[in-house]
Amino acid sequence: MKYKINNICCIGAGYVGGPTMSVIADKCPHITINVVDLNEERIKNWNNPDIEKLPIYEPYLGEIVGRCRNKNLYFSNLIKEKIQEADMIFISVNTPTKKKGLGAGKASDLKWVEACARQVAKFSTGYTIVVEKSTLPVRTAEVIKSILDDSQKSSKNSAPSKTFNVLSNPEFLAEGSAIKDLLNPDRVLIGGDNNDAIKALCEIYKNWVPEEKILTTNIWSSELAKLTSNAFLAQRISSINSISAICEATGANVKEVSRAIGSDSRIGSKFLNTGPGFGGSCFKKDILNLVYLSEFFGLHEVAAFWESVVNLNSWHQNRISKLITKKLFGTLSNKKIVILGFAFKANTNDTRESAAIQICQNLLEEDAYLVIHDSKVSSKQIEVDLGRKVLLDDLKNNDNSNIFKGGNWDFAQDLSCIFNNADAVVILTEWDIYKSINWEDVSRVMRCPAWIFDTRSILNPIDIKKSDLNFWQIGNGLG
């Protein structure tokens, strides 16, 4: 093999960089891995001796970090030094939707990726393989290459000379199952135009991934396949969510419909769970990126097709909050609503684009008083997302007054006492602990007529029937 990798630097210690590098470190003890980030607080947390306090929550991550950290896995802010030492550099930084300027609201903001390319161009030494791990618009590798090529030209007269190859290696992990996905991926995708560089990256994955699961393509196919994969997954969710509305209108049950269609092996059973609308940092951003790309190439019908997936998702979130308001007699003033779950899905502390944000904001606009619980999301994060301050007072004093602080919210550390005097409970994240709540006990402390809104379809309607609660379940036309 022409290139042997001994030292990796990953720029970006986020939800992708942290878990991905931890797994590579665990499976490749012969490689030294440095994960670097501009964010000092984040790095401090990655180095926290208490593995419960790592900056992201992901099942099994703590054990792996505990095993590898400071052996062959290091977290630091030493960007320059670690780039200098590396044979291979992963760019794993954020690529959010642009907020202003050309392409605002759709195109990806590549300023962090460009900054990384410039840092690599400046600090790297000798031959370096640069790997795009971030999800990027098609042809971004060209931008990275041109920045790196320019640095090659300017370093011509000064030793040591620098050379690069750029590969695309998009990440397909899902949050909450990141370690499982990394250990046993459906496929690893590597796009590039230099066989030796591709081989060097393949060798790393071959330490635990069967060779037949490692797909190699040209660089543009690899970039596009990542966007397409997320667009297809999100499209399935919007499709089933649209059907949930038809089920509610007709008396059909979306779970039964999902089971029936999912049994067709051409359709398959995965990603057919209806919910409050897809969230997460990527689905919306990546589809909008595809929309932008289509428009850029004059493919307006294609752009409109994909944009409708995002539009349906927003409509669906608003549909849920409207429905709650209507069931509660058209007004939420002086009403206490318990929100169970704020993360965009279970088993993560990530709230980016969580459906809970839009739904809670809508309920607050209607003057509701919300008491929000989540197993892993902090009140500080909810405050950032809702843009309103937590009150944190009366809940602890066990205030049972019915005159609630309309348009405000409190955070509940646990489930004890939170149902007292509540008019409604809304389940927004499918955390396991919500599945074992005793609803008969809860119904005794709520204010009648009390409602349960199950947007994740995790409760058994038969259990609720034993209580005095009114029950609405997403996609359940007879619920």
- The set of catalytic residues is 171, 226, 282
CA separation, residue 424 to residues 40, 329, 409, 439, 453 (Å): 41, 12, 14, 12, 7
C-beta of 328 vs 458, nearer to ligand UGA? 458
Q: CB–CB of 303/294 below 8 Å?
A: yes
Q: How many helices (H) and strands (E) does the chain have?
A: 16, 14
Which of 241/467 has CB closer to ligand UGA? Answer: 241
Which letter, b or e, does each residue of 82-116 get, where b requires 16 or more Cβ atoms within 10 Å of its Cβ? Answer: bbbbbbbbbbbbbbebbeeeebeebbbbbebbeeb
Q: Minimum distance from CB of 94 to ligand NAD (Å)?
A: 4
Q: Tokens in use for 356?
A: 């809970």
Pick the closer one to ligand NAD by CB: 165 or 349: 349
* 140 binds ligand NAD, rule: CB under 6 A: no
User: Does 233 engage in binding with ligand UGA (CB under 6 A)?
Assistant: yes
Q: Please identify, using beta-carbon distances, which residue of 109 and 171 lies nearer to ligand UGA.
A: 171
Closest distance between ligand NAD and the C-beta of residue 115, in Å? 4
Q: What is the CA radius of gyration of the chain?
A: 24
393 vs 408: CA distance, rounded Å: 12
Nearest CB to ligand NAD, comparing residues 340 and 356: 356
Stretch that binds ligand UGA, among 75-83, 90-98, 165-173, 356-364 (CB under 6 A): 165-173
CA distance 455 to 430: 9
Tell whether residue 290 is a contact of ligand UGA (CB under 6 A): no
Binding mask 104-133 for ligand NAD (x = CB under 6 A): --------x--xx-----------------
**CA gap 376, 380 in Å, rounded:** 12
For ligand UGA, the closer of residues 128 and 244 by Cβ is 244
d(CA 133, CA 144): 13
Angle at 172 between CA 197 and CA 82, to 5 degrees: 50
Choice between 130 and 173, CB closer to ligand UGA: 173
Residue 470, beta-bridge partner list: 451
* Coil vs helix vs strand at 477: coil
In this structure, what token pair is assigned to residue 241? 């969510």
Q: Give the closest residue to 318 by CA, choosing from 272, 286, 365, 351.
A: 365
Q: Residue 85 CB, nearest distance to ligand UGA (Å)?
A: 29
Q: Cβ-closest residue to ligand NAD? A: 14
Size of the site for ligand NAD (CB under 6 A): 27
Residue 109 near ligand UGA by CB under 6 A: no
Q: Which of 10, 11, 89, 450 binds ligand NAD (CB under 6 A)?
A: 11
Question: 89 - beta bridge partners?
Answer: 9, 130
In the complex, least distance from residue 11 CB atom to ligand NAD, rounded to whole angstroms: 5
The partner residues of 73 in beta bridges, in order of sequence, read 33, 69
Closest distance between ligand UGA and the C-beta of residue 172, in Å? Answer: 4
Residues in contact with ligand NAD, shown as a per-residue x/- string from 51 to 90 under the rule CB under 6 A = ----------------------------x-----------
Q: Select 77 or 408, whichever has its Cβ closest to ligand NAD.
A: 77
- Contacts of residues 225-228 at CB distance under 8 Å and 24 or more positions apart, as own/partner, are 225/170, 225/189, 226/135, 226/136, 226/168, 226/170, 226/171, 226/172, 226/189, 226/286, 227/135, 227/137, 227/138, 227/286, 227/287, 227/289, 227/290, 227/293, 228/290
315 binds ligand UGA (CB under 6 A): no
Q: 229, 172 in Cβ contact below 8 A? A: yes
| HSE value, Cβ hemisphere, 13 Å, CA-based, for 457 | 20
Question: What is the size of the binding site for ligand UGA (CB under 6 A)?
Answer: 20
Question: Restricting to residues 221-250, which ones interact with ligand NAD according to CB under 6 A?
Answer: none
Site string for ligand UGA, 172-191 (x = CB under 6 A): xxxx----------------
Q: Which of 22, 32, 124, 134 binds ligand NAD (CB under 6 A)?
A: 134
Q: Counting contacts by CB under 6 A, is residue 341 touching ligand UGA?
A: no
Least CB distance to ligand NAD at residue 146 (A):
18
Give the interface with ligand UGA as residue ranges (CB under 6 A): 135, 171-175, 230, 233, 237, 271-273, 275, 278-280, 282-283, 344-345
Which residues contribute to the site for ligand NAD (CB under 6 A)?
11-17, 36-39, 42, 79, 92-95, 112, 115-116, 134-135, 171, 173, 175, 281-282
